[in-house]
Amino acid sequence: MVEPLRKNELHNQARHWSRHAAQYDELFLDPYGRNVVNPLWEALAAVPDAATKTVADFGCGTGPLLPYLVERFARVIALDFAPGMLKRAGDRLGPQAASRVTFFDRPMHDLAEFAGQLDVAVAVNSLVMPDVRLIDRTLRAIRASLKPDGQFLGVVPSMDAIGYHLMLLMDQSLDQGLAPKEAQRLAALHVERRHYDFAFGHFHYQGLRQKFWRPFELEYRLTKAGFTSTTLSKVLYPWDESLAGGAALAGFPPSWDWFFLGRL
Ligand SMILES: C[S@@+](CC[C@H](N)C(=O)[O-])C[C@H]1O[C@@H](n2cnc3c(N)ncnc32)[C@H](O)[C@@H]1O
């Protein structure tokens, strides 16, 4: 028998995300950083007549994208299932800018009231619920929330980049003369391999359970949800202290997350 989607899991994860809101910036890679190459900016800048359009930031978190969206779009919706995150997003904006944003405390698959109304939907590192049935449902809901010429863009955490990082660290140790087993052990320690399930693309850390993505799955699930045209490209993170052993890897091509753009 197919197990139904568990409501508890949603509440449980929403609670953990709320709990992490306070120290969010210390724990998570920042895709908006000055030295990060993020195709999201160009894609948002290319939206024609944004000043007449409606954008939704799904899984807005602490709201790092909201100030930009408020400046550029006519109407801004910010949605998250973690009240602690929404509170921080409101604080970040301040009362005046926050009054121009409509906040929704709810999960991303619960979008019936937006059906066919959005010009642009954005989800940056928020398509992360580990149950892929919920991911599929969320993608279908986002698709249904868009106008016929609408677009869905965002970023998902990359599972393949973790493998890349692991490989570089291991090779570095081998080059220094370590035995393969020791090189493997050290690399695994640095990337905190114990938090990842590579086969199924899961990450778990202090109660949070997150989905990590490979590009073929992103294309597959966007298509499955009814997006007919999808583009993927990399968000490039420089090797620096935000990545374990990063400074020593500066000579290698950067690490990445996956940027996507889907149209109906
Ligand atoms: C990694 S944070 C990213 C936040 C923000 N988009 C950013 O770029 O900083 C993920 C956010 O998505 C929210 N989230 C995850 N799954 C969600 C779901 N199914 N429905 C609503 N919010 C969700 C979490 O509460 C959290 O605030």
Q: What is the pLDDT along the chain (264 residues), one digit of tens a residue?
A: 445 566 788 888 898 898 888 778 777 889 999 999 999 999 999 999 999 999 999 999 999 999 999 999 999 999 999 999 999 999 999 999 999 999 999 999 999 999 999 999 999 999 999 999 999 999 999 999 999 999 999 999 999 999 999 999 999 999 999 999 999 999 999 999 999 999 999 999 888 899 999 999 999 999 999 999 999 999 999 998 888 888 889 999 999 999 999 999
Residue pair 118/143 in contact (Cβ under 8 Å)? The answer is no
> Reduced to 3 states, what is the DSSP secondary structure of residue 88?
helix
CB 152 within 8 A of CB 142: yes
DSSP 186: H
Please give the distance, rounded to the nearest whole angstrom, from the Cα atom of residue 1 to the centre of ligand 1: 30
Residue of 10, 87, 126 best suited for mutating to test ligand 1, as the one with most atoms within 8 Å of CB? 126
Which residue stretches of the chain are H helix? 7-20, 24-27, 39-45, 66-72, 83-98, 132-145, 159-175, 180-190, 215-224
- pLDDT, residue 21, reads 85
**In angstroms, rounded to a whole number, what is the distance separating the alpha carbons of residues 142 and 136?**
10
Give pTM, 2 decimals.
0.95
DSSP-assigned beta bridge partners for residue 75: 54
What is the per-residue pLDDT for 118? Answer: 98
The protein residue with its alpha carbon nearest to ligand 1, atom 26, reads 61
Distance (Å) from CA 139 to ligand 1 centroid: 14
- H or E segment and range at residue 202: strand 202-205
Give 107 Cα–ligand 1 centroid separation in angstroms: 9
Residue 1 pLDDT: 40
Q: What is the pLDDT, as a whole number, of residue 2?
A: 45
